[in-house]
Structure 1
Amino acid sequence: MNIPNLDTASPEVLAPILHAAIQRLGQLGRTGAVALAALVEDDDADFDEAASWIADIAAGGLRA
């Protein structure tokens, strides 16, 4: 998948890529978190929404 296709990516295409990226950020630890934080604006509602869903998943919720 190319970066320009992110806007039109379906959940089924995007989820495995996001999963791999989040796992890699976890492996990188604080360095990965700092790199991501540098990209996030304080008023980024879309990021806040996604982070909330990811927190739910990490807590064991939102299972199909």
Structure 2
Amino acid sequence: MKLSQIPFATADELAPLLLAALQRLGELGREGAVALARIVDDGDADFDEAADWIETIADGGLRE
């Protein structure tokens, strides 16, 4: 998927890409976290909501 296609992608198309990106950032550790933090705008409500959902998933919640 090209970056330009992301705004039109469905949840099922985005989820595997997000998982792969998060896993890679996790492998990179602090370096990955700092790179992400550099581009996230403070007060980005969409990012904050997504981060809350990811936290819920990481805690074992939100299963179908």
The match for 2:32 is 32
Report how many residues are paired.
64
Q: Deviations over 1:19-48 (max 9, x none)?
A: 000000000000000000000111100000
Cα distance in 1 for partners of 2:16, 2:8 equals: 15
Cα distance in 2 for partners of 1:41, 1:17 equals: 21
Cα distance in 1 for partners of 2:41, 2:3 equals: 20
What is the aligned-residue RMSD (CA, Å)? 0.4
Cα drift, residue 5 of structure 1: 0.5
Structure 1 residue runs without a partner (length 5+): none
Cα distance in 2 for partners of 1:13, 1:6 equals: 9
Is 1:52 the counterpart of 2:60? The answer is: no
Structure 2 residue runs without a partner (length 5+): none
The within-5 A match list for 1:5-24 is: 5-24=5-24
- TM-score (normalised: structure 1): 0.98
- The share of aligned pairs that are identical, in percent, is 61
